[in-house]
Amino acid sequence: MMETTSISSALTLLSSILGMATKVNEREFNQAIIELQKALLNIQKEAAQLQQENINLTNQLSDLKQNLIDRSALEYDGYAYWVKIERGFDGPFCSVCVDNEHKRIRLTRIPGTFSGSTYRYDCHVHKKSFLIPIDVITKHTPVR
């Protein structure tokens, strides 16, 4: 964080330089200018660090907003979460990730049927499998 001491130091040196200008002792004057330049370089460095920190925090906030779940948009059918869209539902999303991590992680369908009446979906985040009845999937799939 940029310290006010750097700014204060630069201003003090500037005031000193202005006071010396009337006396003009070249050695002292040049030394004061060098000190002022050092102080200004420190201020620039601190400002650049603050700017980078601001960029990093802005990016983190953006990422958090993207992962934030609007619970009112979610529907839980007893197997997985779905999001209502214009023509049906988007999903399914992992119920463990939604409930525990507050993230919408899409489940991946594994080819084939299980027991003839369910599809298997896996969560790639925590490696959990879900068996979802075909009629539940059909209910949430938009008509094409």
* SS3 label, residue 141: coil
- Residue type at 48 in one-letter notation: A
pLDDT of residue 127: 87
Alpha carbon dihedral 70, 124, 113, 139, in 10-degree steps, equals: 10
The secondary structure of 65-120, three-state, reads HHHCCCHHHEEECCCCEEEEECCEEEEEECHHHHHHHCCCCECEEEEEEECCCEEE
Cβ neighbors of 41 (< 8 A, separation 6 or more) are none
d(CA 142, CA 82): 12
**21-24 LR contacts (CB < 8 Å, sep 24+):** none
pLDDT at residue 139, as a whole number: 82
Q: What is the pLDDT of residue 74?
A: 86
The DSSP secondary-structure symbol of 124 reads T
- Exposure string of 57-96, with b = 16+ CB inside 10 Å and e = fewer, is eeeeeeeeeeeebeeeebeebebbbbbeeeeebbbbbbbe
Q: What is the pLDDT of residue 144?
A: 43
Using CB atoms within 10 Å of the CB of residue 123, give its burial: 0 to 12 exposed, 13 to 18 middle, 19+ buried.
Answer: buried
> Residue 58: its pLDDT value, please?
94
Residue ranges for the chain with pLDDT beneath 50? 1, 144
